[in-house]
Structures are given as C-alpha cells and as structure tokens.
Chains A and B, each alone.
Chain A
C-alpha cells in the first residue's frame, strides 16, 4: 500500500463523480425531451488488491450508465397509441361532417323535404294559382340544391381522406426508415461497447409515433435492434437495418388510392387493407363510413325523384297535357336537379283530369307522398332522413366517447411511464449536490495525500 495508490483512489473518485455529474446534467437538460428515459450512473467499487495480508479497495468506477426503461409499459403505450390514432382520426373527420346533418339548430335537407311536400299542399287550395305553382318549383329547386350540397360535403370528405393518405404514408415511411437507421447505429455502438441510451430513446419515440399511424408489434433483439411487424398481416416493417415501405397506386375502378406494402427485405409490393391506427381510420372513413352515408342519401334522393316524377306524370298540367318528370331522371343525390324541360309554372301537374285544369287531386296525391311509407322500408322520407341524422349523431357521439376513454387510458400509461422513466428535477438536484460533495471529498483526499507526500519528502531533506 503506497501513498500513490491512495492518490489513485482519489483520482478514481474525481473521475467517477465527474461522470455522474455529467449524467445528471444530461438528465436535467432533457427533462422536457419527449421519449427521454432518465439515466443513472451505476457506481461500483474497483477491484480489490491485497497488501500485507490486508485486502484494500482501489476506489470507485462507473460500470455503466443505466436507462430507466419498462419494456412492457412501452408496449402497452404503443397499443394505446394505435387505438387513440384510430379513434381521434375518425372523430375529427365525423365532426367535420356532422354540421351538414345538424337539423337541430339549422334548416337543412330535412326541412327542404317537408317544404317541398307542403308547397303541394298549398297548391291544393288554389290549383291554378301562379304563386302557388312558382312555390312548388322553388321548393323543388331548393330540395335538389340541398341534396347536392350534402352530397358534395360527403364526397369532399372522401376526397380529403384519400388525399391525406399521401402525407400519412410518407410519414409512416419516414418513421420506418428512421427506425431502421437507428437500429443500425445502435448495433454498431453496442458492438463497440459504447452507450446507445439516447439512440434507443429516439427509436422508442419513433416506434410510438409509428404505432399511432398503424397497428404494430415489435420485438427487441439481443444485438440491440428492434424488429417491427405490421399487426394486421404480420409482414415485416423493419428487420434490423432494413425498412419496408408503404406506397399508393390509383385504383382504376374507384379512382381512389390503394395502399401497398413492400415488406422489409422484399422487393414486391402487395395491396393491404389496414384496419388500425390513423391509416386504418382513414381507409375506414373513406371506404365504409362516409360512402355508407352517401348511399343512404342517394337512395333517398332517387326514391323521392322517382315517386314525385311518377305522380307528376300521372297528372295533367294547366294546359291539360300529361305532366312530365319534375326531376331529371336517373339521379343520385349529387346530380339530382329540376328537369330542364320544366320551363314554366303551367307545367306543374296539379290536376288528375285532362279536361279539368282547376282540379287539385294530383297535387293532393303528391302532397300525400310525404306520408308514404311503402318505398323507404316502412318509414316516410322525413323519417328516413331523421334516422340518418340520428345515425350520424350516434357515430359522432361514439367516436367522441372513444377518444375521451383513449385519452384517459394513455394519460394513465404516460403517468406510469413518467413515474418510471421521467426526470425529476428535485431528484437530480439532490444527486447533483451529492455528487458535488463527493467530488469535493475526493479532491480533499488528493490534497491530503499530497500533504502527506510533502511530509514524507520533508523527512528526506
């Protein structure tokens, strides 16, 4: 045992606490970094040596810098992200559609349907009146306009969901590439015995981002890399440093994008139909939810047009000629319009007899179509529309509730993650003080040993 070795012990303390303070500094400066896991310098006694039958220590050393990380929690978080991504996207898109169906506070399609049939009621009181006939034409125009407008909102929503696929798949591909690159870097650093904590945190964050976009499963490998698989089909998205990619091709039939996946290490793309995450929600909205509303709207528009046209053709106009179709034939909600051949009010067929132009029986029959329950599977036109509004409302309400639950759940998980991996400034400050004092003490040890050496040297001189 020499004074020199005691000096070495002091030096090991200085070096260890310097490292520990540096780790504390890293923690403090990353207190607000998303996905950062707090790190701890793990201190260990240096190997002992024996001198004169005594076993003496050789100071302290930092054996590793540990990352506080809970792999299970991280996976749960990823799953929660997938649900939240799906529900949030759906809820946002549906809330954008809802105003078009908000019959509660504004007059929309429902009112224009009632108004149209009411205008025929007015006509029954004065079948030859120009003003009443004009009102029928205006109400018909208004009805067609309302159908067109709601249908446009829906088809715009479909288009915007379709367009959003471009940026969405770009962002997914970027995440996949980043994960693969980080995998590569982590592997290299780990092999060279380095410390890749920060890179791992970055990769975890990318995986969380990716999980929000599509459902994934992932496994951590012994070489430090993480393999990511697509939850729907199990296809490899990232294998080691290889990344798969999503691509879009325009479907010739629908004119919308098909989503294709080229698996990691593969060269051929296969069409996939994601059902989870933001991507799944976007496709669900585009292909199922909104087209569902649209087809109901089309059914309503075509049925009204067909029934009204048939009734109009069964009657006679003010000149005693048989009525012609009021709406242009073969229509959907997007294209329904007042027949361009209807040029004047006299062409409204209010009479049910060619000889008696002041008759109102056809107008009466037309007005009664408002109560007809034979064509819309047991409900009137207005009832059918009401149930449509209710369905939209229900869908919006459900998706809003889901988002609230998802938010609460991921908040719970985030709190747990924060509790485990988050930086506590107070803790770090205590550590800082602790390490500083230890550093001071180590320095004191060195000065003491130096004094002792001086004393020894003094003996010599």
Chain B
C-alpha cells in the first residue's frame, strides 16, 4: 500500500482520538466512582438500577411509616399499662372492702379512692400522641372521654398504615373497644369499665350510706372481666409492635440486599480500572511519541 503524507496523519489523529476517548472514559469511572453515569452507558443495568431505586425509596417510606406507627403504639402501650395498673389498684381496694363490715370512714375513703381511680383511668384514656388522642379513633380534635359522663366522644374507625407493599397494619385502639366493651373486629371484651366503676362507687357507699355487698361482689367480678379486657388490648398492642418490628427487620434486610445489588452494578472496581488506566496511559504516551517521531521524518532532512 502506498503511504501518502496524510495517510499517517489521518491514522494518527484517528488512533490518538480513540486513545483519548478511552482515557477519558477510564478517568470518568475513577473520578465518579460509578460504572453508570448516564442511561446510555448501560441501558439494561440502568433499568435495574432505577427499579431498585424505586424499591429502596418505597422501603424507606415503609420504614418511616413503621417508625411512626411504633411511636404511636408505644404511647398506646404506656397508657394501657397505666389503665391496667389503675384497675389492679381498684380491684385490691374493692377486695379489701368486699365483706361490707367496714366503718363509715373506711367506706368514705374507699369511695373517694375509687372516684380518683376512675378519673385516673379517664386521664389515661385521653392520652395524646402529638396532637392526636390515641384512643379517640379518627376524630382527633375532641377528647374521647370526659369525667362528667361515661359516653365515648370519639369514633370507632381504626386507621391503618402501609408497612410493606399492599400489607397494612391497624395502628390505633379505639376507646369504645377498650373501655366501653363495644365494637367488634377486634373485640377485647364486653365490659363497660367506666360503668362498672360507677356501679362500684355507689355499691361501696360512703360515710352515710351502707355498702351493698352483693353489688360489690358483682362489681369485683365485672372489674376482673374489665382487667382481662384491658389485658387483651395490651396483648394486641404487643402483637402489633412485634409485627412492626419483624417488618422493620425484613425491610432492613431487603434494603441491604438491594443496596448490595446496586453496589455490585455501580461500584467501580478501582483496582481493575486503575490498572487499565495506567495501561492506557502508557499506550497513549507511546502513540504520542511514535506520532511525533514519524511526523518529523522527512526526506528534506537528507537532501
């Protein structure tokens, strides 16, 4: 093949350009530390990366939901413990006076204590998490219970959050299910705890009224059922917390797995790239040197 003056120049430009492009690509890999910097670098992997990124986004959202639900349920759990303790106190008080032979001052004292304990239960039942009444259903603005009457002012709607795709967890326990013994799915029992306490308060009597032993015994029995009802709610909350915890672990595991896949696709193998870079650099320098040498060769120097 006849080589003209421009043949070598043309080829030198083409090959130097190619070398420069490769160098540039390798430098980009090293400096960005990402294998894929734009969709066209690898369309198939881009698709995988974006799908994973969506999943990770969703997982992070589910984790946020779980954290919020856990906080809410922890507040609920604390309130339930308070209610349960108060009922236990009321039970032992009632047991101590159930034989009906107490003095007027003892009756008055028991009466006052029961009134105070009922108020305490109502206070616990009006617990708030943030601005929300935890036992108020979805009507968050009004307190679910008042000390003036035993009616429930909330609603029986249970709110849900999504904890993983298409899987929901009911978060709140409504006051009617807990203290009024009404509602279903779940139903914790059928005891109206507030009414039971009112019945007990009147059965105990006071300094002027004698105790009604039969009513006290009935009240003690009802209170026992009420304690079971609260305990059922506590078990439910514990089960919910357990589920959230499990889901949280699962989400974390999924997240780790997906992040590993991303890192497998995106992480630049710096050792390999570094080696390639230095190889390419050497090749490029050699090409430059050769080009310079050949271009300077001319018959003119020898004529």
Q: Which residues of A contact B (CB under 8 A)?
A: 31-32, 38, 95, 98-99, 101-105, 110-111, 114-115, 118, 121-122, 124-129, 351, 353, 355-361, 364, 367-368, 370-371, 380, 382-383, 386-387, 389-397, 400, 407, 411, 414-415, 418-427, 429-430, 433
Contact = CB atoms under 8 A, between A and B. Distances in A.
B69 A125 contact: yes
A420 B39 CA distance: 42
Interface of B: 1-7, 10-11, 14, 32, 34, 36-44, 46-47, 49-51, 53-54, 57-58, 61-62, 64-65, 68-69, 72, 130-132, 137-141, 155, 157, 159-162, 165-166, 168, 171, 298-300, 303
B4 A371 contact: no
Contact of B39 (A104, A360, A429): A104
A386 B38 contact: no
Contacts of A380: 54
B303 A433 contact: yes
Contact of A371 (B37, B138, B166): B166
Contacts of B36: 104
A364 B34 contact: no
The 9 closest A-B pairs by CB, nearest first: A393-B39, A422-B4, A396-B40, A358-B138, A393-B43, A394-B43, A386-B50, A125-B68, A397-B40
Nearest to A125: B68
Contacts of A31: 5-6
- Chain A contact residues: over half helix, strand or loop, or mixed? helix
B160 A364 contact: yes
B50 A103 contact: yes
A461 B62 CA distance: 127
A414 B5 contact: no
Contact of A125 (B7, B46, B65, B138): B65
A356 B138 contact: yes
A28 B59 CA distance: 72
Given A358-B139, A389-B46, A393-B38, A414 B61 contact: no
A122 B5 contact: no
Contacts of A414: 10
A38 B300 CA distance: 19
B160 A424 contact: no
A124 B3 contact: no
B38 A425 contact: no
Contact of A121 (B10, B65, B72): B65
13 contacts: A98-B40, A104-B49, A121-B162, A128-B132, A356-B157, A358-B141, A364-B162, A367-B162, A386-B47, A389-B47, A390-B44, A396-B38, A397-B43
A118 to B, nearest CB: 4
B7 A422 contact: yes
A124 B299 contact: no
A359 B162 contact: no
Contact of B54 (A101, A110, A358, A426): A110
B5 A424 contact: yes
B233 to A, nearest CB: 20
Contacts of B44: 390
A415 B38 contact: no
A38 B10 CA distance: 17
Nearest to A399: B40
Contacts of B69: 125
Contacts of A111: 57
A106 B202 CA distance: 70
Given A390-B47, A393-B38, A419-B4, A118 B57 contact: yes
A358 B58 CA distance: 24
Contacts of B62: 121
Nearest to B138: A358
Contacts of A427: 4
Given A114-B58, A419-B2, A124 B65 contact: yes
B61 A121 contact: yes
B39 A390 contact: yes
Contacts of B6: 31-32, 418, 422-423
A186 B38 CA distance: 52
